[in-house]
Amino acid sequence: MISVKDVSKSYKDLRVLSDVSLALDEGEILALVGETGSGKTTLAYLIAGTIKPDGGEILFRGRGVSDIDRKEFAKTVGIVYQSPRDSISHRFTVFETIAEPLHIHGEFDDESRGRIESALREVQLPVDEYFLQKYPHELSGGELQRVAIARALIMKPHLLIADESTSFLDPSVQAKVLRLLLDLQNERGISMLFVTHDIGVARKVSDRIAVLHGGDIVENAPAHRVIANPEHPYTKQLIGVAKGGG
Amino acid sequence: MHIKPFQEFAKDKIGVAGLVLILFLFTTAILAPVIAPHDPWDYSASSFQQPSKEHLLGTNDIGYDIFSELLWSLRTSILFGIAVAAITCTLGLVLGVSAALIGGMYDMLVMRLADALLAIPTIMILILIAAYFKPSTTVLIIALSLVLWQTIARGVRAQTLSLKTKLYVKAANNMGAPTSYIMYKHIMPELFPLYAMGFVTKARIAVFMEAGLSFLGIFDPTTKSLGIMMSYAMRYLYLDVWFNWLLPPVFALSLLIVSLGLISYAIEEIFDPRLRRNNATPI
């Protein structure tokens, strides 16, 4: 579905990605693993079409992402960010937050309330008026991240990008949100790009793992193989850290 | 943290007091043509009459009713304050937001112009403008607005630059939102505190400046103004007219400035959690 070919990206003099190539199949969960500053979020945003590469090309179902109308392409990609407290406006209620993509794409109508309630049920949140009118500061981190997931899925995207979506949550909530993401992906059959620094989490959720290190993809293989037979020393190091071996 | 500004304002006794005062003055100013007992541009009695039922504050040196003059002068001050505040804030908002969004050379030009205006004393510019043009109310409203926008623009620009980096703004952009949507839904509402605060502050400055300029004679002499009233009353202080001629415009002007000050204090307190009294930690 997504094909990244020899993509490079720099911010001023800092080269973040160097000739990166990657593919994401329909319905597949690909975990993009790397340390902070390895370029994984940049690669995710390049795939989402929100930033442009300096070189190379990104194809969505055979068409160049840069050739597709940005607003139209935005409908096909849902993003769940690391911190729901930062990614959701403090002035928006739950209802307004989930309705935002509908407003942006001119699809807000009489049936929207039903769509929003359905999205809330999918993420296992209440649909009563009291909850719909709550503001972010009245919700827990887990609830807020579920609202963010509902917002990402309301336009029925083909690709869901989870950018460190569970790293800000408590371990118990983290597990529940991960389970929810996997269930939703499974039910809808959408592709998912799971960006994380934790290879342990990547192993649990993904079909395939791509390891980014210093702007290059140093490992890209099925998850079980990466964990069982890591080839690159950096991957071995990550697995060692995840196992608590340092 | 989410703030409901109107509910918070309703709870703020100082703000409500200021609002009640300003509404009283505003209503009086609007109703001036109806409630003024005499034509303030025409003789209604002989000069220097003491206050009476017919002339509540007496008459001035040329037999005009002082109370009627006061009501019409208040009208001028309020009109001046609102007009200058509205133009200044709109100019500041447009220039500040556009500088932050467009950036580059445009941003640099706008900010250098703002710096230059901050460095030059406003009163000097106004005196020069008044000397060159006929200092009518409209000319002075425009002139004052053109020299007062810079602080609003600087604040708005800084706030917009900060908002641009917020994740929820980026998220809206990533959802495909056009700039107009981001401006309307995310940037403008966040700028409301700055705008509200700026509006009240600039109205207060404008009211004071109008009185000051007209006191100095840099104003249309045919317009009724609190400053002109004070200026004329000062000339006849030896006749002991201070309490019925000088004091009323001074009191009206003070009341107007104090009421705007109270509102501005309340707005600042609502939007700055550090200033909230109920948030204060007991020592």
The answer to whether position A125 is within a domain reads: yes
Whether A71 and chain B come into contact, CB under 8 Å, resolves to yes
Distance CA A131, CA A143 (A): 11
For chain B, the domain total comes to 1
When pLDDT is cut at 50, 70 and 90, the band that residue A107 belongs to is very high
SS3 A139: coil
CB contact under 8 A, B181 and A91: no
For residue A195, give the CATH number of its domain. Answer: 3.40.50.300
pLDDT tens, position by position, B10-28: 888 888 999 999 999 999 9
Please give, rounded to a whole number of angstroms, the shortest distance from the CA of A204 to a CA of chain B.
27
Distance CA B177, CA B166 (A): 15
pLDDT over 60 at A62, yes or no: yes
For residue B68, what are the contacts with CB-CB under 8 A and spacing of at least 6?
B36, B37, B38, B39, B40, B44
Q: Which residue of A has its CA nearest to B174?
A: A50
Radius of gyration of chain A (CA): 18
Give long-range contacts, CB 8 A cutoff, 24+ apart: B34-37: B35/B71, B36/B65, B36/B67, B36/B68, B36/B71, B36/B72, B37/B65, B37/B67, B37/B68
The answer to whether position B251 is within a domain reads: yes
B145 to each of A41, A188, B11, B204, how far by Cα in Å? Answer: 46, 58, 32, 13
Whether A123 and chain B come into contact, CB under 8 Å, resolves to no
Distance CA A55, CA A221 (A): 24
Look-up: residue for tokens 């192993």?
A203
- Is this model's pTM higher than 0.95 or not? no
Percent of chain A with pLDDT over 90: 46
The answer to whether position A235 is within a domain reads: yes
For chain A, the domain total comes to 1
Question: Mean pLDDT in chain A?
Answer: 89
Of B2, B166, B181, the CB nearest to A104: B181
Whether A133 and chain B come into contact, CB under 8 Å, resolves to no
Tokens, residue A18: 């160097």
B225 to each of A68, B59, B69, how far by Cα in Å? Answer: 63, 16, 8
Q: Look at residues B71, B81, B85 and name the one whose alpha carbon lies nearest to residue B24.
A: B71
The answer to whether position A18 is within a domain reads: no
Whether A61 and chain B come into contact, CB under 8 Å, resolves to no
Give phi and psi for A54, each to the nearest 5: -80, -30
The answer to whether position B51 is within a domain reads: no
Distance CA B8, CA A17 (A): 49
The answer to whether position B35 is within a domain reads: yes
- Residues of chain B short of pLDDT 50, as ranges, are 279-283
For residue B73, give the CATH number of its domain. Answer: 1.10.3720.10
Please give, rounded to a whole number of angstroms, the shortest distance from the CA of A179 to a CA of chain B.
24
pLDDT over 90 at A32, yes or no: yes
The answer to whether position B88 is within a domain reads: yes
Note the ipTM here: 0.89
Residue numbers of the domain that contains B18: 5-39+57-276
Q: Which residue of A has its CA nearest to B182?
A: A104
Distance CA A218, CA A199 (A): 14
Of A81, A91, A135, the CB nearest to B171: A81
Distance CA A65, CA A48 (A): 8
